[in-house]
């Protein structure tokens, strides 16, 4: 994700928490349509490597995105870009939801 722009978008001189810079960058990619609803985000460790930050910083960024309603995390499945409110979609079909 960050490699698309030729390196990390994190500015160590910017007066903002690093996790917020990561979250803002991912949020901008969601808003631009670069990351579409239902798209799976890389794992926290992979995000940390991409953005050249500690994985705990990446974890906090994902938490921030969840709080903003931009992503949903499904245990043992991953973190996905959320569908807009009112959309009749879910990022991953639940087991047992097969139509009868």
Could you tell me which CATH class the domain 2-81 is placed in? mainly alpha
Q: What is the pTM of this model?
A: 0.76
Which residues in the chain show pLDDT less than 50?
Answer: 3, 96-100
Q: Roughly how many angstroms between the first and final C-alpha of the chain, as a whole number?
A: 39
Contact 77, 92 (CB under 8 A): yes
Q: How is the chain split into domains, by residue range?
A: 2-81
How far apart, in whole angstroms, are the C-alpha atoms of residue 87 and residue 37? 10
Q: Are 80 and 92 in contact (CB under 8 A)?
A: yes
The answer to whether 71 touches 81, Cβ cutoff 8 Å, is: yes
The 10s digit of each residue's pLDDT in 54-76 is 999 999 999 999 999 999 999 99
Quote the CA–CA distance of 19 and 53 in Å, as a whole number.
Answer: 9
Tell me 69's DSSP state: T
């Amino acid at each position: 994700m960050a490699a698309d722009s030729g390196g990390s978008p994190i500015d160590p001189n910017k007066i903002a928490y690093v996790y917020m810079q990561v979250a803002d960058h991912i949020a901008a990619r969601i808003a631009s349509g670069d990351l579409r609803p239902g798209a799976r985000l890389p794992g926290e460790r992979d995000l940390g490597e991409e953005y050249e930050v500690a994985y705990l910083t990446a974890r906090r960024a994902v938490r921030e995105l969840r709080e903003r309603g931009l992503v949903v995390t499904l245990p043992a499945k991953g973190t996905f870009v959320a569908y807009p409110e009112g959309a009749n979609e879910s990022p991953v079909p639940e087991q047992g939801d097969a139509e009868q």
